[in-house]
Amino acid sequence: MIPLDLALICFLLLAAINYRLRRSVLYPPFIFSAMWLLDLATVRSGLIEVDPVHGNTLAIVAAGAASFSFGGLLAGLAPRKLLRFHPFPPKPVRTSDFLRNVLTFVLLCGLPVLFYQTWQLGRLGAGGFNLLAQARMVMVDESRTGEWTGSFVLNYFTQIVTFIFLLFATGKKDRQFWVVTVIAFSACVLSLGRGYFLAIISGLIAIRLLHRKQETLRSAIPLLRWPIALFVTVFIGVVFISKNTEGMTDSTTGIATFSVFSDIVGPLVAFDRVVQSPADFMTPWSHTFQFPLHLATTLHIISNYTKTPMLDRFVFVPFPINVYTVFKFYYLELGIIGMLVLLLFIGLLHSLLYLKARQGGRFSMYLFAFSMYSVLMVIYDDSYFDIATLLRAFAIGLLYFLVSSMTFRLVPTTNTVSKP
């Protein structure tokens, strides 16, 4: 336990230093360190039985967090004039609600389509489970064999709803916002995953804290406790709705506890397997450079690119897990030095986005809110590599604010001149 205890002390100091630098719970290096502190504390507590984690794995994780934090330090050297530039108004302006009404109507029409397609998918399943559980089993089975293609609605509707929800959250909390909130949560349930719940709730928290300028621990905790409780409740609820729990002999509380803690500690233990036997996990495809390689293939620049599987291989730790933290592919494909350089670069860019959002720009605030998901997931899986999703978020946000600005400028104004 000595290496684990030393790693806990290291991450406690790293989290404290990062918090001290910005006094903000939204500062990406602080979140990165705090998530690993939570992970190691859960392993140390023994609340769930897992295989031991070796000291060299803990050293790699600590070095990665330090490199990410150093990137945050470099971001603090950025010129203040650059950070204060905002292409769009920093606060909601008085504009027509036409765009918001159109987007709300489109999402309202899309939700029944998502329900129907999920229902159709569930009918293909077998085993006497509920509709969502059967649909999820079909998706997982087809993903394992590489046959899953899905429809546009199944693949992208919930993602688009998340973008629009966060865009609305940067503005006024009117009727359209609350309607889209209901649509977003409903779509998360129907999409059979828990990731978008985290993206929605964490993004909303980030926007509220930035709007209210309540980023310190003392001022943020009263705002954080209820959203965190909501996420944990929904997370556990989705486990019972969309997963097969018949093989679990524990009580309902035991199943819920296992589901939460296994997702926290399992990926680290799985990554330890990678560090101890890297040759067993080498693959012919590239995860880290998936986007540029796929783009080059689409443009017929290269022709020998192998598509990355949707699901990774399972290992037993001693329960089955197929996610390996943010580190696995960077470590395998780039080596330790390359991994540290890339994490420094990611920490720099993410911290720059945070500093930009802190200045009050709605567009940068929206992008940072969406990026919260990536840093919260570092103990579970890597989503920083998903450049395509980030570009979609950027494009939809840019189009939204451009159209909003154009609408505002095209609305005729009436100038009244007072008589002397």
The DSSP result for 144-210, as a single string, is: HHT-----HHHHHHHHHHHHHHHHHHTS---HHHHHHHHHHHHHHHHTT-SHHHHHHHHHHHHHHHH
- Better pLDDT: 248 or 319: 319
Residue 55, pLDDT > 90, answer yes
Residue matched to tokens 């101890």: 276
pLDDT computed for residue 255 by the predictor: 74
For the beta carbon of residue 378, count every other beta carbon within 10 angstroms.
Answer: 27
Closest by CA position to 385, among listed 332, 320, 337: 332
Closest by CA position to 28, among listed 373, 287, 385, 381: 373
pLDDT computed for residue 344 by the predictor: 97
Q: How far apart are CA 377 and CA 390, in angstroms?
A: 15
Angle, helices 362-376/328-358, rounded to nearest 10 degrees: 150
- Please answer whether residues 347 and 68 qualify as being in contact, where contact means their C-beta atoms are separated by less than 8 angstroms: yes
Buried b (16+ CB within 10 A) or exposed e, 118-149: beebbeebeeebebbbbbbbbbeebeeeeebe
pLDDT band at 206 (very low <50, low <70, confident <90, very high): very high
Q: CA dist 248 to 92, 132, 252, 319, Å?
A: 50, 18, 9, 12
Residue 409, pLDDT > 60, answer no
DSSP E strands in 252-380: the ranges are 315-316, 320-321
Q: What is the mean pLDDT of residues 250-268?
A: 80
pLDDT band at 129 (very low <50, low <70, confident <90, very high): low
Mind listing the pLDDT tens digit for each residue in 266-316?
999 999 999 999 999 988 888 888 888 888 888 878 877 777 777 888 999
% of the chain with per-residue pLDDT over 90: 50
For the beta carbon of residue 221, count every other beta carbon within 10 angstroms.
Answer: 12
**Four-residue CA torsion sign, 205, 207, 212, 217:** positive
pLDDT computed for residue 130 by the predictor: 64
Residue 240, pLDDT > 90, answer no
Burial (CB count <10 Å: 0-12, 13-18, 19+), residue 200: buried
Q: How far apart are CA 34 and CA 228, in angstroms?
A: 15
Residue 67, pLDDT > 60, answer yes
Q: CA dist 42 to 6, 47, 61, 164, 291, Å?
A: 15, 7, 16, 35, 34
pLDDT computed for residue 202 by the predictor: 93
pLDDT band at 141 (very low <50, low <70, confident <90, very high): low
Mind listing the pLDDT tens digit for each residue in 186-202?
998 888 667 888 999 99
Q: Which two tokens stand for residue 217?
A: 């621990």
Domain ranges across the chain: 2-408
Name the pTM for this structure: 0.87
- Better pLDDT: 65 or 155: 65
Residue 383, pLDDT > 70, answer yes
Angle, helices 328-358/195-212, rounded to nearest 10 degrees: 30
Let me know the angle formed at the C-alpha of 264 by 315 and 208, rounded to the nearest 5 degrees. 140
- Better pLDDT: 241 or 262: 262
